[in-house]
Amino acid sequence: MATINEAIINANRLHPDCYGDEVKTAWLCELDGKIARETMHKSESISYSYPDDADKALLVPPPYDNIYELYIIAMGDFFSGELASYSASAAMFERAYEEFRKSYIRSNMPPQSTLKL
């Protein structure tokens, strides 16, 4: 699984910006919180802080863990006011996130009932 530091390093390689690791960690914390609640249906809260949690594993496993880099890039574009870039990067993130969600739901569906009506 990707760590916070790996996601930040990969995003910085792909799309350097002016935002620090603390800000990007907050974005990742926000994203994992949404994933935990909306997709995994977990009630515990997610809390990451940089640099203390830099080596902490994020929730989404490979091959879907590129959503973290895509999210950092999209958030950077948004807060930089690069709205055309944000539109494209947000769309890429949304596609990748939807692929993960579908895979997670398929893999974690409860068994179908065997009751006959």
The number of CA neighbours under 13 Å toward the Cβ of 70 is 17
Band of residue 115 on the pLDDT scale cut at 50, 70, 90:
very low
Cβ 32 vs Cβ 59: under 8 Å: yes
| Stated pTM of the model | 0.90
- SS3 at position 18: coil
pLDDT, average across residues 36-49: 93
User: What dihedral angle (degrees, nearest 10) is formed by the CA atoms of 64, 68, 71, 73?
Assistant: -120
* pLDDT band at residue 112 using 50, 70 and 90 as cut-offs: low
Average pLDDT over residues 32-47: 93
Helices (H), ranges, 1-117: 4-14, 21-34, 67-79, 83-108
